[in-house]
């Protein structure tokens, strides 16, 4: 079935450092791809999404490009802030077509001042 | 717009006891999901409703878990009897319409953290 694989965490960075969190996927066809973020004590929030190959999703300074050649959807940010500390999840719709999401295992980001 | 509401936020029970979680989705959202998130893992779907009908419950351990969505609005997830491995965060999410665009965003509640002792 469809699945996503994320890089292991935790990732610890200093403020203003460059961030990359890797995500690769296995899917039949070209599903939409999502990044969700979970701040401490809060529910999951959609961070960004891309609906087709070569699309770039962006929000709050974060970007991810849907690359079908490498089956990847890596999350990047040029300059992280302490407030970006959270757990980030890559996700895609399940292969049942019913739009429930299959999530990666999550990557914890800790940004130090 | 009010978000997805869940209660309680935290619950501690002994194994073999029963527990129930409640979810109120965003008004007008036809599709409701329950996910289980074990510590250190991503959420996994338990059950999906479209209005008051079940769309997918293939991952729901039906010998102990049950869920309903009466009147197509609020939903309740129940565990009876609970096991140690049920310790997790139970997340409720809703989206506008199953038949809508495939990018239909899911909105998540804050979750209920269950600890089974």
pLDDT tens digits for A22-68?
999 998 888 889 999 999 888 899 999 998 899 999 999 999 999 99
Q: Assign residue A99 a region: left if phi > 0, alpha if psi is -120 to 50, beta otherwise?
A: left
Is the CB of A40 inside 8 Å of chain B's CB atoms?
A: no
Distance in Å, alpha carbon of B84 to nearest chain A alpha carbon: 21
Taking CB atoms and an 8 Å limit, are A98 and B55 in contact across chains?
Answer: yes
Indicate yes or no: CB of A103 within 8 angstroms of CB of B104: no
- The pLDDT tens digits of the residues spanning B31-90 come to 999 999 999 899 999 999 988 899 889 999 999 999 999 888 999 999 999 999 999 999
Interface touch A99/B31, C-beta < 8 Å: yes
pLDDT score, position B52: 85
The answer to whether the CB atoms of B91 and A45 lie below 8 A apart is no
B103 versus B45: the higher-pLDDT residue is: B45
Predicted confidence band at A95 (pLDDT cuts at 50, 70, 90)? low
Per the structure block, which two tokens stand in for B21? 């979680």
Query: What is the signed CA dihedral for B108, B113, B114, B117, rounded to 10 degrees?
Result: 160
> What are the C-alpha distances in Å from A90 to residues A22, A81, B11, B55?
9, 20, 28, 23
Touching check for A91 and chain B: CB below 8 Å?
yes
A82: three-class secondary structure by DSSP? helix
- Cα distance from A96 to chain B (closest Cα, Å)? 9
């Amino acid at each position: 079935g469809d699945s996503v694989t994320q890089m292991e965490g935790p990732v610890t960075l200093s403020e203003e450092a460059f961030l990359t969190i890797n995500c690769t996927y296995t899917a039949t066809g070209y599903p939409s791809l999502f990044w969700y973020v979970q701040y401490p004590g809060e529910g999951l929030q959609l961070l960004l999404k891309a609906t087709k190959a070569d699309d770039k999703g962006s929000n709050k300074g974060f970007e991810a490009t849907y690359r079908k050649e490498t089956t990847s959807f890596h999350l990047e940010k040029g300059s992280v802030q302490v407030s970006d500390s959270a757990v980030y999840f890559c996700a895609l719709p399940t292969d049942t077509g019913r739009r429930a999401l299959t999530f990666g295992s999550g990557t914890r980001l800790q940004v130090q001042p | 717009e009010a978000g997805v509401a869940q209660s309680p936020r935290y619950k501690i029970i002994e194994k073999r006891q029963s527990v129930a979680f409640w979810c109120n989705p965003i008004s007008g959202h036809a599709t409701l999901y329950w996910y289980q998130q074990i510590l250190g893992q991503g959420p996994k779907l338990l059950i999906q409703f479209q209005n008051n009908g079940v769309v997918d419950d293939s991952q729901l351990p039906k010998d102990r878990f049950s869920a309903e969505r009466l009147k197509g609005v609020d939903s309740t997830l129940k565990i009876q009897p609970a096991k140690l491995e049920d310790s997790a965060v139970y997340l409720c999410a809703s989206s506008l319409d199953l038949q809508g665009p495939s990018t239909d965003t899911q909105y998540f509640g804050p979750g209920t953290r269950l600890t089974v002792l």
